[in-house]
Amino acid sequence: MTKPVTKPVTKPATKSTSRPAARKTAARKSGSGQRAPFQVPQGLLPTPLHPRLEALSRTKAWMGWAGYISPSVLDTVEFEYFAIRNQTTLFDISPMHKYRLRGPDAEAVLNRMVTRDVRKIKPGRVGYAIWCDEEGMAIDDGTLFRFGKNDFLLCCQERMLGWVQDAAWGFNVKVEDESQTVAGLSLQGPTSFSLLSDAGLGKVAKLRPFDLAQVEPGLWVSRTGFTGDLGYELWVDWDQVLGLWDRLWAASTHWGLRAIGYEALNLARIEAGFIAAGVDFQPVHTTMRLGRGRTPLELGFGKMVDFGKGHFNGRRALLRQQETGALRTHLVKIELGGFKPADGALLYHQKKKEVGHVTSGIWSPTVKRNVALAELKAPFGVGVTDDLWAEIYVHEEGQWSKRLVEVTVQDRPFFSNPRARATPPLAY
């Protein structure tokens, strides 16, 4: 899954009695005697699940995601994060952009659009994909669901309808925007399989990581997620997702189900080493200055670029970059000394030369280490990995102090649990 990237929108508190009075008046006029419908701040659209999320929200800390209102935090980040790692969590992924491609040329269109070989994604499977402009700069990344031989769904962070339609021009394929007709739920955590079994969806036991199956009429389940843990994503019609939500909650008695917001999810995705568009790299069509775009090779996705499959957008530029070795940057996973999160910190070589910065940094509650994703100027991060340091500012007793902490480049996710790959999953 790709993440929401916007600033939080917190509903302000008010001491005025006019708003409650207005709600009472509206209730009386309707004859319901109930509180008036929820209010959506700043013109954001509600997803079908917003009534449930609003009822669970204690913080009223909302954020915008693709024009929809989405929870940043519902209760506390700590409770929500530890639920991901120890229980089961629900996160509303309905705001994701979703594009359906059907027709004899659907595979060919996608194969010319993305860098990987789509032919290797078999029906009933899900693949990670990234696509570029003709200069080889990453436009966005997302997940590609293959329902059948000529039937695909592309889910992504950025609005891509125009780009997909341009890629499909002249081909025998139908492109449909299903962003507002297909809703999604991300069910993640070690007890997620047990909960699905109690909800009558035990057929998911056969799903391997990145498998996709229709487990009931109108309900598709994929073994995918953005946490690096055992988890599933459930896809259903927009007007059916509220009933699915209630069904999962009804089966959650023994499994500690908790709805979560983006902040807890962000902690988990960094631990898993997943990158986020707009955070760890900037989609090239949204950059404000030249040179801010990044290629898949610079993002560490060389294995996702298949030069042998034929032409695709950006192939010539990427092939030239690979042959010359002219990478400008490297996006890498790093571990840092100390416990102060280094988000945004500058990175130095030999404590003197500035060579990069941290794009996402946290103190990991599970691995008990200070971890981050970082962009470094080539050859640092890959060719040169020794004597790297991070500049961190710490506020203590009313004063700021600067500390240089040692940086170690990592080649594996910070969090990786065998239960995420076990098939069938462990039943608790």
Strands 88-92 and 257-259 come out as: parallel
Give the tens place of pLDDT for each residue, 73-87. 999 999 999 999 999
Give the tens place of pLDDT for each residue, 203-251. 999 999 999 999 999 999 999 999 999 999 999 999 999 999 999 999 9
Taking CA 8 as the corner, what is the angle to CA 6 and CA 10, rounded to the nearest 5 degrees? 150
Distance CA 159, CA 155 (A): 10
Band of residue 40 on the pLDDT scale cut at 50, 70, 90: low
Q: What is the dotted CATH code of the domain comprising 97-177?
A: 3.30.70.1400
Q: SS in 3 state form for 323-380?
A: HHCCCCEEEEEEEECCCCCCCCCEEEECCCEEEEEEEEEEEECCCCEEEEEEEEECCE
- Report, as an integer, the average pLDDT of 334-350: 96
Distance CA 128, CA 155 (A): 10
**Lowest mean pLDDT segment, chosen from 36-45, 85-94, 139-148:** 36-45
CB 269 within 8 A of CB 226: yes
Band of residue 38 on the pLDDT scale cut at 50, 70, 90: low
Q: Residue 300's closest CA among 252, 359, 226?
A: 359
- Locate 49 and state its tokens: 């699940």
SS3 71: strand
- Report, as an integer, the average pLDDT of 347-360: 98
Helix H segments across 143-188? 161-167
- Report, as an integer, the average pLDDT of 179-200: 97
Whether 31 has a pLDDT exceeding 90, the answer reads: no
Whether 16 has a pLDDT exceeding 60, the answer reads: no
Residue keyed to tokens 């229980």: 87
Would you call 350 exposed, middle or buried from its count of C-beta atoms within 10 A (0-12, 13-18, 19+)?
exposed
Q: What's the pLDDT at 13? A: 41
CB 91 within 8 A of CB 188: yes
- Averaged pLDDT score across all residues of the chain: 91
Whether 11 has a pLDDT exceeding 80, the answer reads: no
Whether 342 has a pLDDT exceeding 90, the answer reads: yes
Whether 421 has a pLDDT exceeding 80, the answer reads: yes
Specify the higher pLDDT residue, 308 or 39.
308
- Report, as an integer, the average pLDDT of 415-423: 95
SS3 381: coil
Q: Residue 144's closest CA among 2, 21, 5?
A: 2
Band of residue 395 on the pLDDT scale cut at 50, 70, 90: confident
Domain boundaries, the chain: 97-177
SS3 226: coil
Distance CA 272, CA 298 (A): 19
